Structure 1
Amino acid sequence: MQRIVHLDRASVVADFRRPAFAHDWIDYPQTAPQQVVERLRGASIAIVNKVPLPAAVIDALPELRMIAVAATGTNIVDLDACRRRGIVVSNIRGYAQHTVPEHVFALLLALSRNLFAWRATIQAGAWQAAEQFCLFDHPIRDLHGATLGVIGAGSLGNGVVRLGAAFGMRVLRAERKDAASVRPGYTAFAEVLAAADAISLHCPLSDATRHLIGEAELRAMKSSALLINTARGGIVDEAALARALREGWIAGAGFDVLSVEPPPDDQPLLDPALLAQPNFLLTPHVAWSSRPAMQMLADQLVDNLEAFVAGAPRNVVT
């Protein structure tokens, strides 16, 4: 009999079928850090999306055998502690291969075509008072013919590459920042920064990628470039980005993630003046959450549970 505890059930709007093995399943809509150990006591399988599981928590749960992460990123789990204990950590893969790239291009199109600036112009009555049929207040740029830099591979990066090609963009896949050599099909990181009209981030958050894009990288980009982040907030130095947008180091940014979520009031990218700028678009970590994508996530998660109990774990991270 497996005891399954889902610590943040409200974070996924989907139906989780019950796995085909003997089990008890307990759902908690949300779980605070101080509640984790008590709620997981006696559990053999934990399901988490964004609830942190540090080493101290893992070490306090001797019966825990599997952590099923209801997401692709696993930075919330201390993987070293799981390896020491022999705990299997499985994640979800490929479920957002359409919805996240579509969100990337929604942000790119809105920024490139200045949609929010045009909306404000109409709200101010400028079109109604115009002497001709159209206005030219805000520049519009085409994606066709522009250069798109993609940092990070995987299904999401590959999905963005495919859509970029469909729009007629020149797509550059960035090599790792400190790589000693450049792999075939990739372009040196610094070259991508310098050449791209838009950069989209799709790498996981780790010690190696934290603040991958900081002041130096933002200043190395074209002043006309756009930065899109639907990966993880910590990949970008948010204070540096806020300054870059205010001072015009780059032309704009579209973000779906922040380094702390939900964000505190003093988060640099939540400055009301910045949010009012038409060249900065911020959405609340929703790029992944189309209803079909969330159902695919739920189905795959239960597949992971069944594979683990059958003795053939899948999507294993540890």
Structure 2
Amino acid sequence: MKIILLDGYGLNKDLNWDLLNQLGDCTFYDRTPVDDKNEILKRIDDAEIVITHKTPLNDDVISRAPNLNYIGIMGTGYDVVDINSAHKNNVVVTNIPTYASDAVAQFTFSLLLEVTGQVGLHNRLVHDNKWSKVPDFTFWDKPLFEVKGKTLGLIGYGHIAQKVAKLGHAFSMNVIFYNHRLKNVSEKWIKQVSLDELLRQSDVISLHVIQTPETINLINKTTIAKMKSNVILLNTARGKLINEVDMANALNNNRVYALATDVVQKEPINRENPLLKAKNCYITPHIAWAPFETRERLLDITINNLKKYLAKDPINVIE
């Protein structure tokens, strides 16, 4: 059985793939050109098993891979695979729904605390000898804020958002959420609201929905106009949820206080991305998922998904 790993660089650096080698004839690629359909096809041509992280597998690819039976997505989101095409071609697709929930929730609050506490800025200023030159015991170059008492609005309420909600509650924030389906919550300190109400009430808005045709450009000039002018927006979900031109304009015109995002529409980021020149914009290179323990868990579940499939008892299947 031939197994192809299309893009394992993020995991290959410091993790051991020996267990996957034991399941078949494995070929590992650090990277596969995401825009080169012919190269993708060449690499998976006679493979029965394909594992991908960010390399797209669309209908053109899936329908022309004659031996393909299984696609394992090394992540939670599954927009990199044409699920309808996979079903049509009798290809089982699995993902890893909860491997990074704790890490991403932790990172979401890291972004918020960076915006409100300015640790990075002041650390840099101290090392640049700014503190040593002032006459006082203290100084700050940017406003600092408490999160206590602020309203945290979560768009989406899956595993990650639920963990972020608990962190917000621990920081004495008022927590509300919007979800496209009604959620039963037992906690008295959280409330489900409409999207418009969330946009209107929130001091901090955090995005936790998957990328679908309905959520692409969810944050745009129309939804921004409904927000508080001093709102902080956090995005550890998908870059395409935000219209980057509209957001850059909102930041530069003081319509939004700050954006802190771990994702952008095109990754790696394009040098012409308008967010790079926007005021109060914090961008990290898609690393919320990347702690060692999180990636180790990702690898373990990836292998277990494949083992269960081979045992004819598949789990984490995308229906």
Query: Normalising by the residue count of structure 1, what TM-score does the alignment of the two structures yield?
Result: 0.91
Question: Quick one: which amino acid aligns to residue 220 of structure 2?
Answer: G
Aligned to 2:238: 232
Q: Is the 8 A contact 2:20 2:26 kept in 1?
A: no
Q: Is the 8 A contact 2:275 2:281 kept in 1?
A: no
Q: Secondary structure at the match of 1:75?
A: coil
Aligned to 1:296: 297
- How much does 1:130 deviate? 3.3
- How much does 1:77 deviate? 0.6
More displaced stretch, 166-175 vs 282-291: 166-175
For the structure 1 residues 295 and 117, does the alpha-carbon distance in structure 2 shift closer, same or farther, using more than 3 Å as the test? closer
Q: Please show how residues 147-166 of structure 1 align to structure 2 within 5 Å.
A: 147-166=151-170
Aligned mates of 1:139, 1:270 — CA distance in 2:
21
Q: Is the 8 A contact 2:122 2:140 kept in 1?
A: no
Structure 2 residue 115 is the aligned partner of structure 1 residue 111? yes
Structure 2 residue 195 is the aligned partner of structure 1 residue 196? no
Structure 2 residue 4 is the aligned partner of structure 1 residue 5? yes
Question: Quick one: which amino acid aligns to residue 43 of structure 2?
Answer: R
Aligned to 1:53: 57
Aligned to 2:137: 133
Q: Secondary structure at the match of 1:64?
A: coil
Q: Please show how residues 1-318 of structure 1 align to structure 2 within 5 Å.
A: 2-13=1-12, 14-19=15-20, 23-32=24-33, 33=36, 34-119=38-123, 122=126, 127-135=131-139, 137-176=141-180, 185-271=191-277, 274=278, 277=279, 279-318=280-319
Question: Quick one: which amino acid aligns to residue 226 of structure 1?
Answer: I
For the structure 1 residues 219 and 27, does the alpha-carbon distance in structure 2 shift closer, same or farther, using more than 3 Å as the test? same
Q: Is the 8 A contact 1:146 1:170 kept in 2?
A: yes
Q: Secondary structure at the match of 1:25?
A: strand
Q: Is the 8 A contact 1:67 1:87 kept in 2?
A: yes
Aligned to 2:188: none
Q: Secondary structure at the match of 2:19?
A: coil
Q: Secondary structure at the match of 2:230?
A: coil
Aligned mates of 1:287, 1:226 — CA distance in 2:
18
Aligned mates of 1:121, 1:44 — CA distance in 2:
54
- Unpaired runs of 5+ residues, structure 2, are 186-190
Residues 226-274 of structure 1 show CA distances to partners (whole Å, capped at 9, x for unaligned) of: 0000100000001111111111101101010011111222222223xx3
Q: Is the 8 A contact 2:263 2:284 kept in 1?
A: yes
- How much does 1:29 deviate? 1.1
Query: Normalising by the residue count of structure 2, what TM-score does the alignment of the two structures yield?
Result: 0.91
More displaced stretch, 129-138 vs 257-266: 129-138
Aligned mates of 2:20, 2:125 — CA distance in 1:
54
- How much does 1:125 deviate? 5.6
More displaced stretch, 235-244 vs 8-17: 8-17
Q: Is the 8 A contact 1:90 1:304 kept in 2?
A: yes
- How much does 1:78 deviate? 0.7
**RMSD after superposition:** 2.1
Q: Secondary structure at the match of 2:205?
A: strand
Question: Quick one: which amino acid aligns to residue 85 of structure 2?
Answer: A
Q: How many residues align?
A: 309
Q: Is the 8 A contact 1:230 1:287 kept in 2?
A: yes
- Unpaired runs of 5+ residues, structure 1, are none
RCO comparison, higher one (Cα < 8 Å, 6+): 1
Aligned mates of 1:170, 1:238 — CA distance in 2:
28
More displaced stretch, 90-99 vs 181-190: 181-190
Q: Secondary structure at the match of 2:289?
A: coil
Aligned mates of 2:117, 2:235 — CA distance in 1:
18
